[in-house]
């Protein structure tokens, strides 16, 4: 069981929220049995109060989806409550935190942990600068934007959050006035003058406020796009990885707002709020990840090197930079947005390239790996009929043909006809088969393999792999005959890689979707619009 904030966060990052059960609510931990009802103004005020209280108290953790029990006058985390992911809008929580807390706390992380009915949401508020006080609008419990003429200071006190009394707020203000060395009226007047001059001509937030290192860059981008109807900021600017973002109102109140997005190496883009929401919603199904970290951010057209706009009426937007890789969001005639990956070939070795290599020391491996991001991963299953179909069709796959092609070019007829399970795990979430061509002494000479792994709670990608391995060059030479050169030419390497790619792509794109695994006759014209591929030698 974790004993401090660091270990509790490590447990959540490891997708093990069950390990938090038995902990007591304390200065750094608060548990919520159900999600914040963000349509209710009082619940929004509670969210702001809770987060600001931890920011003022050295940091902490809010876990959503764990019920507590009372034990010796203390709240103990008792059991996980099933939380519907559709009822928790992580992006809205982030936006409300930025909008309601002044200044917006740095480094706040909102995400998911766990799975299979044991999933919780969490808000991680790291320790903030010791000389910063975080305030929220005084709660009123009524609909509307945060008030700008009131202030309240929430403080974490043991296992609860309390409001800083008016007398203590007065003492803090007095201490600030004394430190300025000015008379009270002059000090307050100077503070107001400075705030107004920094706020800009509309008296509100500055574009880029909240990201001082990028404020000048964001204001320049805003100036270049101001003719598109961008209004004043709706909150402080915020960071998403290396990107800087700013929520903006529309200059006409009846129109949807914008999000100004700056990504290093790309021209700035203004994204209409409805399209931005579609991007975020498409990435919400990524297990345990921030939606934008999964789906990425808008990618400009190849012929664009100037600021550009994605209007509310746009029907398609390309995204990249997330863990899902390059993709495209398209809007149907019914207004439903759908994300699909874009094919991208690479000869660089990806993180899946070394999977399923334990205990192998081949002389040569020609491998194709196909990664297919999948949002509703829990619905996928490798059924017994589908596995049987795979066993029947593997002898007719492209990779089996590649093995026979290599032997025929050397005067032999070595068929990849007998495929066996293994050597890697086979279950409802993974499948693996291999075919071994033996040398004259019965030892392995050449091997072909196919492996498919469905997503886990940590990874929302279907991974398919197909490879051809020269296990033993001497056995391979003996199997085809002594007169033949067993070194592979460039054309043969290319042909084998194409065959392994065809097999992996068909296994991934079709097996996971629940249709026929392989066509009767492999085709080099197989569609690749749903996969990301990497080749490795």
**DSSP E strand boundaries for 386-526:** 420-421, 430-438, 444-453, 461-470
CA distances (Å), origin 295, targets 58, 240, 279, 322, 371: 32, 12, 8, 5, 14
Q: Do residues 455 and 359 touch, judged by C-beta distance below 8 A?
A: no
Whole-number pLDDT of residue 245: 93
Q: Give the mean pLDDT of 170-184.
A: 74
Containing H/E element for 187?
A: helix 184-199
> What pLDDT, in 10s, does the model give residues 211-249?
888 999 999 999 999 788 888 888 888 888 889 999 888
Whole-number pLDDT of residue 191: 55
Whole-number pLDDT of residue 25: 94
What would the two tokens of residue 267 be?
Answer: 């021209």
More reliable by pLDDT, 120 or 196: 120
Whole-number pLDDT of residue 183: 66
> What pLDDT, in 10s, does the model give residues 416-460?
999 998 777 677 788 899 999 998 888 888 999 998 888 776 666
> What pLDDT, in 10s, does the model give residues 468-498?
988 888 888 888 887 788 888 888 888 888 8
> What pLDDT, in 10s, does the model give residues 66-90?
999 999 888 999 999 978 887 888 8
Q: What is the mean pLDDT of the chain?
A: 81
* Cα torsion angle, 390, 395, 396, 399, sign: positive
Rounded to whole angstroms, how far apart are CA atoms 364 and 314? 48
Whole-number pLDDT of residue 422: 78
The stretches of 214-302 forming alpha helices (DSSP H) are 215-225, 273-283, 291-295
> What pLDDT, in 10s, does the model give residues 242-282?
899 998 888 776 778 899 999 988 899 999 989 998 998 88
Whole-number pLDDT of residue 259: 93
Dihedral through CA 127, CA 131, CA 136, CA 137, nearest 10? 180
CATH assignment of 5-164? Answer: 3.30.950
* Phi, psi angles (nearest 5°) of residue 42: -65, -35
Dihedral through CA 146, CA 148, CA 151, CA 155, nearest 10? 40
* Burial class of 312 by CB neighbour count within 10 A (0 to 12, 13 to 18, 19+): middle
The domains of the chain are located at 5-164, 201-342, 346-536
pLDDT at residue 528 above 70? no
Whole-number pLDDT of residue 350: 61
């Amino acid at each position: 069981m974790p004993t401090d904030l660091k270990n509790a966060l490590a447990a959540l990052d490891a997708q093990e929220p069950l390990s938090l059960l038995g902990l007591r609510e304390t200065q750094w931990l608060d548990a919520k049995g159900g999600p914040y009802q963000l349509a209710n103004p009082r619940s929004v005020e509670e969210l702001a109060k809770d987060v600001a209280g931890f920011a003022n108290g050295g940091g902490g953790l809010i876990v959503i989806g764990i019920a507590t029990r009372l034990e010796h006058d203390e709240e103990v985390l008792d059991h996980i409550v099933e939380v519907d992911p559709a009822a928790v809008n992580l992006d809205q929580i982030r936006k409300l935190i930025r909008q309601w807390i002044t200044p917006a706390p740095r480094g706040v992380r909102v995400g998911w942990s766990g799975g299979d009915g044991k999933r919780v949401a969490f808000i991680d508020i790291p320790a903030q600068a010791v000389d910063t006080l975080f305030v929220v609008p005084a709660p009123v419990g009524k609909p509307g934007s945060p008030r700008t003429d009131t202030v309240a200071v929430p403080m974490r006190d043991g296992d609860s959050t309390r409001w800083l009394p008016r007398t203590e707020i007065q003492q803090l203000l007095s201490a600030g006035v004394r430190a300025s060395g000015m008379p009270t009226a002059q000090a307050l007047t100077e503070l107001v003058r400075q705030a107004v001059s920094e706020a800009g001509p509309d008296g509100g937030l500055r574009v880029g406020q909240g990201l001082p290192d990028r404020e000048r860059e964001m204001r320049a981008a805003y100036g270049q796009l101001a003719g598109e109807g961008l209004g004043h900021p709706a909150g402080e600017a915020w960071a998403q990885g290396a990107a800087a973002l700013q929520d903006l109102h529309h200059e006409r109140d009846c129109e949807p707002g914008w999000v100004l997005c700056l990504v290093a190496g790309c021209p700035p883009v203004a994204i209409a709020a409805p399209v931005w929401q579609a991007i975020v919603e498409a990435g919400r199904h990524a297990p345990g990840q921030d939606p934008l970290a999964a789906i990425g951010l808008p990618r400009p057209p190849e012929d664009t090197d100037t600021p550009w706009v994605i209007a509310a009426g746009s029907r398609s937007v390309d995204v990249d930079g997330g863990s899902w890789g390059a993709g495209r969001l398209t809007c149907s005639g019914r207004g439903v947005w759908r994300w699909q990956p874009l094919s991208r070939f690479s000869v660089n070795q990806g993180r899946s390239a070394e999977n399923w290599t334990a205990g192998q020391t081949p002389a040569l491996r020609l491998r194709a790996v196909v990664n297919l991001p999948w949002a509703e991963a829990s619905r996928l299953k490798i059924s017994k009929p589908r596995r049987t179909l795979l066993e029947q069709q593997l002898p007719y796959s492209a990779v089996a043909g590649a093995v026979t092609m290599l032997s025929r070019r050397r005067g032999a007829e070595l068929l990849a006809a007998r495929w066996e399970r293994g050597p890697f795990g086979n279950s409802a979430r993974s499948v693996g088969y291999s075919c071994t061509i033996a040398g004259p002494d019965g030892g392995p000479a050449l091997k072909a393999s196919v492996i498919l792994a469905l997503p886990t709670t940590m990874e929302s990608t279907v991974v398919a792999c197909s490879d051809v391995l020269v296990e033993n060059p001497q056995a391979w030479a003996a199997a085809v005959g002594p007169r033949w050169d067993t070194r592979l030419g460039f054309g043969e390497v290319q042909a084998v890689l194409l065959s392994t790619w065809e097999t992996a792509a068909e296994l991934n794109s079709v097996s996971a979707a629940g249709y026929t695994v392989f066509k009767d006759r492999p085709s080099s014209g197989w569609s690749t619009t749903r996969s990301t591929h990497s080749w490795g030698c």
